Amino acid sequence: MDDLLADFIEETREMLEASESEIVAWEANPADRARLDAIFRFVHTVKGNCGFFDFPRLEKLSHAAEDALSDVRNGRRDADSALVTAVLHIIDRIADMVTAIEANNDFPEGGDEALIAALAPSASDAPLVGETRATAPAVMSAGDTDIHTAATPRSIRLPVELLDRVMSGVSDMVLARNDLAHRLQEAGNQPMVDGPFERLSGILKDVRDAITRMRMQRIEHLYSPIPRLVRDLSADLGKQVMVDLDGRDVELDREMIEMMRDPITHIIRNAVDHGFEKPSDRLKAGKREIGLLSIGARQAGNKISISIRDDGRGLDERRIAEKAVKTGTIIPAELEAMSREKVLDLIFAPGFSTAEEVSAVSGRGVGLDVVRDNLEKIGGKIRVSSVPGEGTSFFLQIPLTLSIIAGLTLKVGGQRFVVPQSYVEEIVRLRGENAAIEDMGDTTLVTFRDQRVRMVSLADVLGIKADVARERANLLILRLATGDLFALAVDQVQNSSDIVVKPLPPAIMASGIYCGSTLLDDGQPILLLDIPHIAQSHNLMTEERTRTAQMVDESATEADSPANRAMLFSTLGGQRRLVRLELVKRIETVAAKAIDQTGRQCRAVIDGEILPVIGIEDQTRLVGYIRLLRLTDGMSEVLYAVDKVEDAVDLTNELIHVDEADPLIQSVTLIEQESVALIDSHKLFAAHGALPKQVTSKTCKLPDNDWAMSILVPLVESAGYRPVFEADSGTSDIEITLDQVETIATSKTVIALRSAPDDQVSEGERSRSIYRYDREGLVASLRLAGKGEAA
């Protein structure tokens, strides 16, 4: 196949795949001009490429879609579900044609006219023949960013097999370099060789980093087809589902992304088919008509965690148990001894399904067992939790399959191991006077340089006998990502080198002690220690941080009875308070200077969002770092400044309603024989919740040039206006012009901008216009105009 044609096929596929999710998201928010522009550019590029390669059918289809989108951009028609469906059908047809071109096959004639006709406004009332109109769009969350509007960097395409060969070769070069370094060290001082060897090591490091990045892809490539998938499924099933995608910046090996595509698709299809109720049933149950499917990803140590949550009907434990007994998966005697978690785990049994009928979506009993098998093959795992009537959550964990890191080799009990050098803060040799060891119950503390840190012997962790007495051991002072320090006692610290980390079988990974394997300079295999898990399992983290990590870790969340659990914390004023645990999204730590205390409401920027902060008195002086509880009710968020997070507790004692001066207090209960107030969730979010940005109906007309797009659009949006341009038809509430005007129009407000600053113009000009870079003046004029006052 011609190279140019192959590039066309690959590039077209990438653009069409990306445009699908953008179109579905745009349908939910038609006022998003930036997203509409991005979709238009996609279709325009495809049309141009088709014309270049003389594919008239492709060019005709893309040209029709481009015309329809152009009408929307210019205000000649409104976006609706029928238009979105028609554009998606055009994209599907183009994708099928591209596949035929790649296989050098003829694509059947006919059908194009019906697709093009469906784009016309008059066709908006009738679905395509043989197609189901999508009435339940899957929409993106308000916080999603448009990743396609940025300029695309120059790139070339390479076969994955070639990247695999290069990566394998670089890994072998790292091991060979380590072997050579070991031999040079044994040979003694070699000035003729040392210089070139150092240069070679530096070059190899750069090549290694570049090759590693080449194999990594952001998880957004896994996310891109999800909105379209959910949209089509929900339309076929007569449901309404909203999609919230989080963690787009998490990077995975491209092979891992392909491996995860089918398992995640299985789970999403099951959620839409079985998990979500019909809109009428949701309303009867007191829920929103539109269901929420939340998918998030995060990296924790050497693992990637992916959570998939729905707020549907939840799993029916009784029904699962009955079906398992009926199909012979378990016997009644086994069922009696099974916990709820074990019963829910039965959904992963081969051939298990609770569906009464087989549909095109699910019900054949093929899916979740395959999901678990595929994950276990790559060293991953999956867990499910569910609350009847509230929803179901799947938690997936997958390992990082291949990486090259700096490692420190150590020895204990005659065996060698390696730890990631990123954890090593310092190496201390115990020689009596420079450090003191003391046992306090089950905890061992070591004091050196006036510091006291917890200590554990690696020999004790592994259950072997050390060759060196504890008082003469070598200590690795390790710092975790949480900031905690602890000491690991070993017999000997050997050397530091770059190591190629490879995965271990799941049974070994499950021990919580090892997280990979590697080869040493001499070719001997050794195991890589899992430092965070060792610290947590041996209580080497401070108690507060351990509790915090357990409470916010999604894969360890207990979902049996979340409504009866609460987080206990101390406010900045020293009072102990409770907040229901299901409201706690996570715990943030920010610098005090990052909290804005200038207005009536304190604010902080978290993950690119401006959120309100409560719990800070007017005169409170904030220094250092502040811990914030990030609370959410599913629709809005608020940050609660706290002094200390104490524990997650069960609300087993009676809740007594009280009439407190503080309006946020709902009731009090006994915690550790002390009366502690429980925060009223409803009042908290009613008074302080930061709701998602709403689409404003007020418009501001701007000059149609690049300067206005770059400079004025953000200012206009921040003042509460939706920007439109001179080329767009229709009226606007306010207009900004680069031409000076003598009078203000009576039908609408006109704000004139000038190029000269205030000190270079006359008083008359200053009164009639605003300096184009006077941000405060322009925003103030816009807001005054919004209140009906003269600018």
Non-local CB neighbours of 83 within 8 Å, separated by 6+ positions: 68, 72, 77, 119, 124
pLDDT band at 608 (very low <50, low <70, confident <90, very high): low
Q: What is the pLDDT of residue 458?
A: 92
Residues 472-527 pLDDT 10s: 888 888 887 556 788 899 998 887 776 767 767 777 877 878 877 887 666 678 88
Q: How far apart, in Å, do the first and last CA atoms of the chain sit?
A: 63
Q: What average pLDDT score do residues 334-344 get?
A: 82
Q: What is the pLDDT of residue 1?
A: 47
Q: What is the DSSP string of 67-85?
A: HHHHHHHTTSS---HHHHH
pLDDT at 558 over 60: no
Of these ranges, 102-116, 541-555, 597-611, 637-651, the one predicted with the greatest mean pLDDT is 637-651
Instruction: State how far Cα 468 lies from the chain centre.
Output: 46
- Counting every residue, how long is the chain? 791
Q: What is the pLDDT of residue 399?
A: 67
Residues 191-203 pLDDT 10s: 778 778 888 888 8
What is the residue type of 410? L
Strand partners, 489: 457, 475
Q: What is the pLDDT of residue 482?
A: 54
Non-local CB neighbours of 131 within 8 Å, separated by 6+ positions: 85, 89
Give which of 101, 81, 84 is closest to 13, Cα–Cα.
101
Burial of 157 (0-12, 13-18, 19+ CB in 10 A): exposed
Cα–Cα distances in Å, from 481 out to 301, 485, 517? Answer: 9, 10, 22
pLDDT at 363 over 50: no
Strand partners, 604: 595, 611
Q: What average pLDDT score do residues 441-453 get?
A: 76
CA distance 490 to 467: 9
Contacts for 250-253 with beta carbons within 8 Å, 24 or more apart? Answer: 250/218, 250/219, 250/297, 250/298, 250/299, 250/304, 251/216, 251/217, 251/218, 251/219, 251/299, 252/216, 252/217, 252/219, 252/222, 252/304, 252/398, 253/215, 253/216, 253/217, 253/400, 253/401, 253/402
Residue for token pair 């940050």 = 639
CA distance 251 to 403: 12
Q: What is the DSSP string of 754-787?
A: ESS-GGGS-HHHHHH-EETT-HHHHHHHHHHHHT
Apex CA 297: angle with CA 292 and CA 300, to 5°? 145
Helix, strand, coil % (nearest 5) of the chain?
40, 25, 35
Report which of residues 431 and 415 the model is more confident about: 415
- Sign of the C-alpha dihedral computed for residues 161, 162, 164 and 165 taken in this order: positive
Q: What is the pLDDT of residue 2?
A: 62
Cα–Cα distances in Å, from 415 out to 191, 612, 710? Answer: 33, 54, 62
CA neighbours closer than 13 Å in the CB half-sphere of residue 239: 25
Q: What is the pLDDT of residue 157?
A: 64
CA distance 350 to 347: 8
**Is 401 within 8 Å of 254 (Cβ atoms)?**
no
| 3-state DSSP assignment of residue 535 | helix
Beta strands (DSSP E) in 654-730 are 656-657, 665-671, 674-679, 699-702, 722-725
The DSSP H or E segment spanning 229 is helix 226-237
Question: Edge-to-edge, what's the strand order for the sheet holding 303-310?
Answer: 241-246, 291-300, 303-310, 391-399, 381-387
CA distance 178 to 76: 67
Residues 479-493 pLDDT 10s: 875 567 888 999 988
Q: What is the pLDDT of residue 295?
A: 92
Residues 123-159 pLDDT 10s: 444 444 334 333 344 444 433 434 333 344 555 667 7
Q: What is the mean pLDDT of the chain?
A: 76
**Is 418 within 8 Å of 521 (Cβ atoms)?**
no
pLDDT band at 690 (very low <50, low <70, confident <90, very high): low
pLDDT band at 276 (very low <50, low <70, confident <90, very high): very high
Exposed e or buried b per residue across 505-543, where buried means at least 16 C-beta atoms within 10 angstroms of its C-beta: eeeebeeebbbbbbbbbeeeebbbbbbbbbbbebebbee
Q: What is the DSSP string of 258-304?
A: HHHHHHHHHHHHHIIIIISPPHHHHHHTT--SSEEEEEEEEEETTEE
Cα-based torsion angle of the residue sequence 186, 192, 197, 198 in order, rounded to the nearest 10 degrees: 100
pLDDT at 725 over 70: yes
Residue 358 backbone phi and psi in degrees, to 5 = -85, 125
Q: Please write down the HEC assignment for all residues of 191-212.
A: HHHHHHHHHHHHHHHHHHHHHH
Q: What is the pLDDT of residue 359?
A: 52
Give which of 603, 557, 550 is closest to 582, Cα–Cα.
557
CA distance 108 to 112: 10
pLDDT band at 546 (very low <50, low <70, confident <90, very high): very low
Residues 71-117 pLDDT 10s: 887 778 877 778 888 888 888 888 888 788 777 777 777 777 888 88
**Is 636 within 8 Å of 535 (Cβ atoms)?**
no
Q: What is the pLDDT of residue 201?
A: 82
**Is 435 within 8 Å of 446 (Cβ atoms)?**
yes
Strand partners, 650: 565
Cα–Cα distances in Å, from 293 out to 134, 278, 701? Answer: 18, 14, 37
CA distance 230 to 240: 9
**Is 464 within 8 Å of 527 (Cβ atoms)?**
no
Q: Which of 118-132, 303-317, 438-452 has the lowest mean pLDDT?
A: 118-132
What is the residue type of 281? D
pLDDT at 764 over 50: yes
**Is 413 within 8 Å of 462 (Cβ atoms)?**
yes
What is the residue type of 651? L
Residue for token pair 């300096």 = 771
Q: What is the pLDDT of residue 739?
A: 65
**Is 400 within 8 Å of 304 (Cβ atoms)?**
yes
pLDDT at 417 over 60: yes
CA distance 772 to 758: 10
pLDDT band at 366 (very low <50, low <70, confident <90, very high): very low
Give which of 61, 11, 16, 8 is closest to 39, Cα–Cα.
16
Percent of the chain's residues with pLDDT above 90? 4
Residues 59-77 pLDDT 10s: 788 788 888 888 887 778 8
